[in-house]
């Protein structure tokens, strides 16, 4: 009797053990995020603010010799920045404590090149302190941008600079409370003021900063921080290879700890990478990072920003959106308006999760256990998940809405604490009794959002078709998001014909030529129309079905290009420089063409006060000019140099480069390309234009 009892006891212990094995949580698959990375990932959306001496010199990168006395933001108010970020739905702010010019927004005791020698608050101000206080007040986290490259420091390039750099980091990481992220830009070494040396200093970005020890110091001072570094050593987060606001549709949060990281790895991650290094998508709300008054009408619109949202947060990345601060120390009202409208649009788009608490069924459930059931994926709880048995890498989950339901967005999240697993999935809808494929995609990661035309269906089926290991899905969302119309794009060709276009299907365009805001009573656009010479075109797109209009598209055109001629070049493709089409390009290639002078005959004398250059827009572009000279002439014989310098951040941000100078009479202009981003002899031009008085 006793013996039987013992056997029964052993048997039941074994079977409890057996069941337990069946329903145990899946073991992690590959690298997993740290707690700091998890906390960061859940922030999703936060801000950059760019503010420095560049704000007062209209530059992208300061040289390091700009006068500190220029810095005087009379109305500066970090609380305005924080309020806007908070209302826009952001979770933190990263401030450019020091940009490449070396000017410090805090009174660093290691340099004179800081706010302490400016007229702002009689040298008693500390912008980092004000930012930290404002973040605290608004419940936002604070991050620090400290440029490793310092074009002011006399020691840059020497070992002493590393001590200086670490001293500054220590000031920033010890005096301003908790810092969630530190940002080390990849621009490193080149020409600069360097304490008056005015020379070129090159460093090896993989060794110079001794990142290993710098990181150890950072983690000791701020144990909860994440490190972003594009400067030679893997940090906790990675750049995505572009500043245009998107990361690959396939996006693994993995990289390898060592070895080169080419563009493809930045952009798509590495499927079998040995380290968890997720993607942060950094982009500006305007074309440039610092404030330039001529961009007041170039602030990104809601449809554009929504596109950025889907291509960053919707692609398993975070979104770091920049606000340039104006010389008075405030965010421009246009940027505020765009950010708040964008925040509202995101809220509206994901307000109602149509899948939440609906009936869900999965064809495989781990150990048939309730705790891993399909319902766990639609409970909006980030700590629960649907998981399958270990050997299953293909699986479906079906959601029944109970009645035909209209939707156009699908969101999925993996429980990434157990690694990133899904390699491919499809989405189907049950429409009139038939399953119809809506979309096909690859990775999921922390968050993946798919867009498709609105569909009315009773059920939706999420099929995981390939996975590294058993899928572990934390959340699923189905939404019916409103559609936001893009403002029309406005282009003018060389003969003065204006064309309006959009990617949206079916809207009507209304436009004005007198600077007024178009309404549905303005001229209707039917076909390209003629509007030569100086003219301001404003246009809206209007959707008659919903009665919704886009924001206003706006272009200001200068003098007519009808009589412009490219001089001395026997290649008809060269006319692409003047065709008003930003996606066409002309290249001058060949031995020793640097410096190459592109001469354009404007056909008449004008008072020229600036010029504009747009490099090739294609990602694999070549001939992006970084250093130029600009000459004018009235007779194509005697030339006067009126502007020279660099197109500072053109490689990462290939937008229109605008240079102004004192008005000068000219019929001929010449751009000399002195250097390009790839140090070869190709000069590429998508467009060239002039600014006249
Ligand atoms: C770039 C810098 O060179 C820009 O000036 C800007 O700070 C941006 C965020 O990173 O690469």
What would the pLDDT profile of 354-375 be if each residue is shown by its tens digit?
999 899 999 999 999 999 999 9
Determine the distance separating the centroid of ligand 1 and the alpha carbon of 79, expressed in angstroms: 24
Residue nearest to atom 10 of ligand 1 (CA): 185
368-424: per-residue pLDDT in tens? 999 999 999 999 999 999 999 998 888 999 999 999 999 999 999 999 999 999 999
Cα(61) to centroid(ligand 1), Å: 8
**Exposure string (b/e) for 516-536, b if CB count within 10 Å is 16 or more?**
eebeeebeebeeeeebbeebe
Whether residue 17 has pLDDT greater than 80: no
pLDDT at 8 (0 to 100)? 39
Apex 547 CA angle, 542 and 549, nearest 5: 35
Q: Which of 432, 355, 434 is nearest to 400 (CA)?
A: 355
Omega before 116 cis (within 30°)? no
DSSP 325: B
**pLDDT digits 0-9 by tens, 270-303:** 999 999 999 999 999 999 999 999 888 889 999 9
Could you give the CA distance from residue 546 to residue 111 in angstroms, rounded to a whole number?
Answer: 58
Classified as helix, coil or strand, 82 is helix
Which CATH number, 3.20.20.80, 3.40.50.1980, 2.130.10.10, 3.10.450.50, labels domain 35-349? 3.20.20.80
Mutational pocket test of ligand 1: of 96, 146, 652, the residue with most ligand atoms within 8 Å of the beta carbon: 652
Confidence category of residue 14, pLDDT binned at 50, 70, 90:
very low
Which atom of ligand 1 lies closest to the CA of 652? Answer: 11
Report which of 55, 7, 543 is spatially closest to residue 286, judged by C-alpha positions: 55
Contact at 8 Å (CB) between 393 and 471?
A: yes
pLDDT in tens, 487-512: 999 999 999 999 999 988 789 999 99
Distance CA 306, CA 483 (A): 10
Residue 151 Cα to ligand 1 midpoint, Å, equals: 14
Q: Is the pLDDT of residue 15 over 90?
A: no
Question: Could you report how far apart the first and last alpha carbons of the chain are, in Å?
Answer: 108
Q: Which of 61, 62, 99, 185 to mutate to test the pocket of ligand 1 (most atoms within 8 A of CB)?
A: 185
What does the pLDDT look like over 22-36, one tens digit per residue? 579 999 999 999 999
Distance 649 CA to ligand 1 centre (A): 7
Ligand 1: which of 100, 284, 289, 324 to mutate, most ligand atoms within 8 Å of CB?
A: 289
Mutation test of ligand 1: which of 243, 283, 647, 651 has the most ligand atoms closer than 8 Å to its C-beta?
243
Whether the predicted pLDDT of 570 surpasses 80 = yes
Q: Which atom of ligand 1 is nearest to the CA of 183?
A: 9
Fold category of 565-692 in CATH: Jelly Rolls (2.60.120)
What residue ranges do the domains of the chain occupy? 35-349, 359-479, 489-557, 565-692
Q: Which pLDDT score, from 0 to 100, does residue 407 have? A: 95
Q: How far is CA 175 from the centre of its chain?
A: 29
The alpha carbon of 312 and the centre of ligand 1 are apart by a number of angstroms equal to: 18
Kindly give the residue spans of alpha helices, DSSP state H, lying in 364-513: none
Cα torsion through 500, 504, 510, 512, rounded to 10: -40
CA distance 420 to 445: 5
Pocket test for ligand 1, best of 287, 650, 651, 653 (most atoms within 8 A of CB): 653
Contact 175, 126 (CB under 8 A): no
Which tokens sit at 378? 């639609």
The answer to whether the CB of 508 falls within 8 A of the CB of 324 is no
Determine the Cα angle at 241 with ends 235 and 60, to 5°: 95
Domain 359-479 has CATH 2.60.120.260: yes
Q: If you measure from the C-alpha of residue 341 to the centroid of ligand 1, how many angstroms do you get, rounded to a whole number?
A: 26
- Going from the Cα of 283 to the center of ligand 1, the distance in angstroms, rounded, reads 9
Predicted confidence at residue 231, as pLDDT, reads 65
Residue 72 near residue 120, CB atoms below 8 Å: yes
Residue 515, pLDDT above cutoff 90:
yes
Question: Distance between CA 526 and CA 499 in Å, rounded?
Answer: 10
From 57, 98, 144, 187, mutation site for ligand 1 pocket: most ligand atoms within 8 A of C-beta: 187
Q: How many A from CA of 9 to the centre of ligand 1? A: 68
Using CA of residue 636, residue 640, residue 642, residue 648, what is the dihedral sign? positive
- Angstrom distance (rounded) from CA 370 to CA 385: 10
Joined together, the tokens standing for residue 74 give 């009379």
Answer positive or negative: Cα dihedral of 340, 342, 348, 353. Answer: negative
Axis crossing angle, helix 333-349 with helix 302-312, rounded to the nearest 10:
60
> Of all helices (H) and strands (E), which one includes residue 97?
strand 92-98
Give mean pLDDT, residues 11-19. 39
Q: Which atom of ligand 1 is nearest to the CA of 187?
A: 3
Q: pLDDT for 456-493, tens place per residue?
A: 999 999 999 999 999 999 999 999 999 899 999 999 99
Which atom of ligand 1 lies nearest, measured to the CA of 186? 11
| CA 289 / ligand 1 centre spacing (Å) | 7
Distance CA 370, CA 208 (A): 54
Nearest CA to ligand 1 atom 6: 289
* pLDDT-based confidence at residue 52 (cuts at 50, 70, 90): very high
| Residue minimizing CA distance to atom 8 of ligand 1 | 289
Q: What is the pLDDT of residue 232?
A: 67
pLDDT tens per residue across span 182-197: 999 988 878 999 999 9
Closest ligand 1 atom to the C-alpha of 230?
Answer: 11
Which atom of ligand 1 is nearest to 60's Cα? 5
Average pLDDT over residues 662-688: 94
What is the overall mean pLDDT for the chain? 93
Please classify residue 333 by burial: count the beta carbons closer than 10 Å to its beta carbon, then call 0-12 exposed, 13-18 middle and 19+ buried.
exposed
User: How confident is the model at residue 278, as a pLDDT?
Assistant: 98
Comparing CA positions, the residue from 540, 477, 535, 541 lying closest to residue 506 is 541
Q: Kindly report, residue by residue over 422-444, the tens digit of the pLDDT.
A: 999 999 999 999 999 999 999 99
Whole-number Å distance, alpha carbon 122 to ligand 1 midpoint, is: 29
% of the chain with per-residue pLDDT over 90:
86
Residue from 144, 139, 169, 186 nearest 43 by CA: 139
User: What is the CATH number assigned to the segment(s) 489-557?
Assistant: 2.60.40.10
For a ligand 1 pocket test, name from 649, 650, 651, 654 the mutation site with the most ligand atoms within 8 angstroms of its C-beta.
Answer: 649
Using the mean position of ligand 1's atoms as its centre, give its distance from the Cα of residue 596 in Å: 28
Q: Environment class of residue 199 by beta-carbon count within 10 Å: exposed (0-12), middle (13-18) or buried (19+)?
A: exposed
CB 526 within 8 A of CB 612: no
Helices (H), 181-226: 211-221
Cα of 186 vs centre of ligand 1, distance in Å, is 8
Question: Alpha-carbon distance 661 to 649, whole Å?
Answer: 20
pLDDT of residue 591: 56
CA atoms within 13 A on the CB side of 501: 6
pLDDT band of residue 1 (cuts 50, 70, 90) is very low
Q: Report the alpha-carbon distance of residue 540 to residue 267 in Å, rounded.
A: 34
Q: Residue 100 C-alpha to ligand 1 middle, in angstroms? A: 9
How many angstroms separate the alpha carbon of residue 543 from the centre of ligand 1?
A: 38
Q: How many residues appear in the chain? A: 693
Which residues have C-beta atoms less than 6 Å from ligand 1? 60-61, 185, 187, 282, 289, 649, 652
Q: How confident is the model at residue 594 (pLDDT cuts 50, 70, 90)?
A: low
CA of 185 to the centre of ligand 1 (A): 6
Distance of CA 638 to the CA centre of its chain: 44
Q: Give the distance (Å) from ligand 1 centre to CA of residue 50.
A: 9
How many Å apart are CA 684 and CA 686, to the nearest integer?
Answer: 7
Q: How many CB atoms lie within 10 A of CB 74?
A: 11
What number is the average pLDDT over the span 61-65? Answer: 96
pLDDT for res 471: 96
Equal CATH topology for 359-479 and 565-692:
yes
The ligand 1 atom at the shortest distance from the C-alpha of residue 289 is: 6
Q: Count CA atoms within 13 Å of residue 533 on its CB side.
A: 3
Rounded CA separation 510/524 (Å) = 5
């Amino acid at each position: 009797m006793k013996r039987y009892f013992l056997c029964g006891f052993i048997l039941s212990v074994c079977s409890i053990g057996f069941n337990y094995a069946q329903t145990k949580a899946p073991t992690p698959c590959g690298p997993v995020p740290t707690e700091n990375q998890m906390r960061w990932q859940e922030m999703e959306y936060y801000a950059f603010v760019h503010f420095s001496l560049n704000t007062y010199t209209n530059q992208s990168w300061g040289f390091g010799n700009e006068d500190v006395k220029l810095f005087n933001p009379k109305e500066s108010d970090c609380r305005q920045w924080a309020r806007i970020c908070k209302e826009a739905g952001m979770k933190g702010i990263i401030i450019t404590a020091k940009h490449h010019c070396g000017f410090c927004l805090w009174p660093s005791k290691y340099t004179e090149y800081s706010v302490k020698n400016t007229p702002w608050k009689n040298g008693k101000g500390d912008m980092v302190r004000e930012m930290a206080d404002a973040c605290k007040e608004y419940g936002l986290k604070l991050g620090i941008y400290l440029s490793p490259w310092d074009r002011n420091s006399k020691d840059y390039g020497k070992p002493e600079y590393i001590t200086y750099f670490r001293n500054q980091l220590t000031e920033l990481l010890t005096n301003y409370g908790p810092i969630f992220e530190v940002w080390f830009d990849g621009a490193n070494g080149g020409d600069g003021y360097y304490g008056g040396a005015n020379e070129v200093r090159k460093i090896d970005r993989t060794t110079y900063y001794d990142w290993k020890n710098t990181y150890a110091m950072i983690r000791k001072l701020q144990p909860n921080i994440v490190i972003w570094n594009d400067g030679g050593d893997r940090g906790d987060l990675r750049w995505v290879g572009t500043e245009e606001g998107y990361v690959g549709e396939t996006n693994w949060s993995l990289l390898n700890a060592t070895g080169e990281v080419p563009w493809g790895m930045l952009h798509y991650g590495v499927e079998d990478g040995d380290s968890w290094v997720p993607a942060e998508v950094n982009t500006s709300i305007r074309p440039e990072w610092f404030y330039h008054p001529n961009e007041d009408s170039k602030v990104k619109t809601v449809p554009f920003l929504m596109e950025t949202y889907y291509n960053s947060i919707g692609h398993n990345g975070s979104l770091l959106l920049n606000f340039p601060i104006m010389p008075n120390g405030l965010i421009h009202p246009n940027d505020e308006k765009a950010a708040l409208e964008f925040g509202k649009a995101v809220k509206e788009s994901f307000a109602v999760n149509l899948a939440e608490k609906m009936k869900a069924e999965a064809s495989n459930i781990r150990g048939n256990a309730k705790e891993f059931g399909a319902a766990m994926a639609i409970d909006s709880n980030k700590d629960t998940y649907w998981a399958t048995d270990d050997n299953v890498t293909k699986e479906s989950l079906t959601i029944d809405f109970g009645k035909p339901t209209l939707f156009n967005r699908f969101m999925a999240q993996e429980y990434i604490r157990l690694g990133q697993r899904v390699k491919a999935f499809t989405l189907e809808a049950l429409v009139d009794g038939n399953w119809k494929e809506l979309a096909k995609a690859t990775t999921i990661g922390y968050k993946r959002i798919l867009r498709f035309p609105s569909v009315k269906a009773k059920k939706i089926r999420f099929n995981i078709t390939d996975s590294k290991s058993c899928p572990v899905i934390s959340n699923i969302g189905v939404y019916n998001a409103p559609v936001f119309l893009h403002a029309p794009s406005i282009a003018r060709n060389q003969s003065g014909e204006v064309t309006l276009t959009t990617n949206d299907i079916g809207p009507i365009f209304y436009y004005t030529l007198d600077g007024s805001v178009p309404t549905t009573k303005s001229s209707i656009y039917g076909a390209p129309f003629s509007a030569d010479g100086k003219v301001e075109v404003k246009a809206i797109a209007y959707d008659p079905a919903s009665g919704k209009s886009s924001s206003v598209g706006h272009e200001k055109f200068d003098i007519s290009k009808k009589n412009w001629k490219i001089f001395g070049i026997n290649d008809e493709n060269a006319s692409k420089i003047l065709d008003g089409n930003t996606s066409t390009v002309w290249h001058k290639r060949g031995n020793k063409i640097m410096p190459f002078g592109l001469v354009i005959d404007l056909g008449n004398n004008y008072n020229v006060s600036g010029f504009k250059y747009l490099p090739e827009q294609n990602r694999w572009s070549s001939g992006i000019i970084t250093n130029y000279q600009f000459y004018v002439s009235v007779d194509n014989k005697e030339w006067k140099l009126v502007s020279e310098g660099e197109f500072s951040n053109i490689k990462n941000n290939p937008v229109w480069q605008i240079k102004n100078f004192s008005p000068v009479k000219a019929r001929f202009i010449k751009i000399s390309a002195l250097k390009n981003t790839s140090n070869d002899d190709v000069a590429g031009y998508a467009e060239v234009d002039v600014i006249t008085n």
